[in-house]
Amino acid sequence: MRSLLAIPSLAAILGAGIPSQASVPKADAALSARLGELAKAVQGDVGIYVRQLKSGCEVALRADETFPTASLVKVPILVGVFDALERGQLDWRKPLEYRESRKYAGEDLLGSFKDGEKVPLSKLVALMVSFSDNTASLWCQELAGGGSAINRWLGANGFPKTRVNSRTEGREKEKEDFGWGQTTPREMGELLVRIREGKAVGPVASAQMYRLLCRSYWDGEALSQVPPGVQVASKQGAVNGSRSEVALVNAPSGDYVFCVVTKNQKDQSWKEDNEGFVLLRRVSRLLWETFEPGSPWSPSAEAARYRP
């Protein structure tokens, strides 16, 4: 990356009146090649999108191809909830009544609540984002107006391929193909950028969403490769044939965003050495070393004992 940023602009070389943005690097061939090599280690399909916000440096590998979101869908659901809040359709602090009929199969925290117990929307959203609680997430999707309402926001705001499929009328075929939701690595990465820049729903809503996204419990993959003192907004997702993570790193030299998603993985294990999990860690490590060459960070191998 160092050599890329040192390349003089065409305007400087030719003395021509080229707009200043022409001097901003838009692609990094070396980084693209290294990411491509990492992707080859996965038996399946891999999509990667990377952008350093300050320089504009961008790498895209199958970044506009549609992939399953798994739990990455909770980012659009989060936006849908805040859109409803901004329009006065929801109350952030009003207690809601949990019913056992809402329980989604699994080990969700909300599913351990007693029938009739009160829980505010703020706690539901925190459970959805920080712990990826599916019971809380499905309830949030409903409170946001359902998948159709969330999809309308996405369509109106420049995200044509990102959609909620589950429990959304008319998207039965898409659910069969992609599961709960679908997206592209570029769109999911840019949705985090939109939130970071205060342009998703509104600046105050965006700021609160960003705070929430910086509190992930699932820090064993991409987040494990970023120094603990660096703030990262992120969301993780995983189903048998897919592993995914989107992250926006508030790095010392400038923010960078990346999204990695797999599909059709042959390795469907749930062990630490799953090819998809390994890819997430390797991509994150490579990006940190590329964008922050003067800030060495070597996660201890013993840290794996603290994986969620």
What is residue 107's predicted lDDT score, i.e. its pLDDT?
82
Tens of pLDDT, residues 247-265: 999 999 999 999 999 999 9
Confidence of residue 27 (pLDDT cuts 50, 70, 90): low
Please tell me the pTM assigned to this model. Answer: 0.90
Confidence of residue 124 (pLDDT cuts 50, 70, 90): very high
Query: At CA 106, angle to CA 143 and CA 152, rounded to 5?
Result: 30
74-86 and 146-156 helices, crossing angle to 10°: 90
Whole-number percent of the chain with pLDDT over 70: 91
Tens of pLDDT, residues 28-86: 899 999 999 999 999 999 999 999 999 999 999 999 999 999 999 999 999 999 999 99
Q: Per-residue pLDDT averaged across 178-187, rounded? A: 98
Residue 283, CB half-sphere, CA atoms under 13 Å: how many? 38
**198 contact partners, CB below 8 Å, separation of at least 6:** 206, 207
CA distances 295 to 33, 58, 229, 285, 291, Å, are 23, 21, 12, 12, 9
Q: Are 178 and 65 in contact (CB under 8 A)?
A: no
What is the overall mean pLDDT for the chain? 91
The distance from CA 177 to its chain's CA centroid, rounded to whole angstroms, is 20
Indicate the CATH number for domain 2-90+144-306.
Answer: 3.40.710.10
DSSP string of the chain, one letter each residue:
-HHHHTSPPHHHHH-----GGGGS----HHHHHHHHHHHHTSSSEEEEEEEETTT--EEEESTTS-EE-GGGGHHHHHHHHHHHHHTTS--SS-EEE--GGGPPSS--SGGGSPTT-EEEHHHHHHHHHHS--HHHHHHHHHHTTHHHHHHHHHHHTT-SS-EE-TT-TT-HHHHHHHTTEEE-HHHHHHHHHHHHTT-SS-HHHHHHHHHHHT--S--SSGGGGS-TTS-EEEEEEEETTEEEEEEEE--TT--EEEEEEEES-S----STT-HHHHHHHHHHHHHHHHH-TTS-----GGGGGG--
Q: Are 143 and 232 in contact (CB under 8 A)?
A: no
DSSP string of 83-123, one letter each residue:
HHHHTTS--SS-EEE--GGGPPSS--SGGGSPTT-EEEHHH
What is residue 12's predicted lDDT score, i.e. its pLDDT?
34
Q: Look up residue 25 and give its amino acid.
A: P
74-86 and 185-196 helices, crossing angle to 10°: 40
What is residue 256's predicted lDDT score, i.e. its pLDDT?
98
Confidence of residue 204 (pLDDT cuts 50, 70, 90): very high
| Residue of 171, 124, 161 lying closest to 47 (CA atoms) | 161
Tens of pLDDT, residues 132-179: 999 999 999 999 999 999 999 999 999 999 999 999 999 999 999 999
Which residues are 242's β-sheet partners? Answer: 239
The yes-or-no verdict on residue 295 having pLDDT over 90 is no
The yes-or-no verdict on residue 105 having pLDDT over 90 is no
- Most confident residue range from 10-19, 23-32, 229-238: 229-238
